[in-house]
Amino acid sequence: MMEWLDMVIQGILLGGLYALFAIGLSITYGVMRLVNIAHGDFIVLAGYATLPLVAYLHWHPFVALPLVMLIMAILGYVLQTTLLNKTIGPDILPPLLVTFGLSIVIQNGLQQLFSADAQALQIGDLQIASLQIGEDLAIGWFPLIVFITALAMTLGVNYLFNHTDTGMSLRATSDDPVTASLMGIKAQHVYGVALALSFALVAVGGVFSAIRTTFTPSTGPISLLYAFESVVIGGLGSIWGTFAGAVILGVAQALGSKFDSGYGILAGHMVFLLILIFKPDGLFPRTRA
> Model confidence over 125-168: pLDDT tens digits?
888 888 888 777 888 999 999 999 999 999 999 999 999 999 89
* Residue 237 Rama label (left phi>0; alpha psi -120 to 50; beta): left
The pTM assigned to this predicted structure is: 0.92
User: What is d(CA 10, CA 67) in angstroms, rounded to the nearest whole number?
Assistant: 29
Label residue 91 by pLDDT band (50, 70, 90). Answer: confident
Listed by start position, the domains of the chain span 2-278
Specify the range with the lowest mean pLDDT, choosing from 173-177, 253-257, 265-269. 173-177
User: What is d(CA 18, CA 21) in angstroms, rounded to the nearest whole number?
Assistant: 5
Neighbour-count burial for 84-111, b at 16+ CB within 10 Å, e otherwise: bbebbeeeeeebeebbeebbeebbeebe
So what's the pLDDT on residue 135? Answer: 73
Specify the range with the lowest mean pLDDT, choosing from 19-28, 174-183, 208-217. 174-183
Mean pLDDT of 245-251: 96
SS3 at position 132: strand
Beta bridge partners of residue 138, listed in sequence order: 132
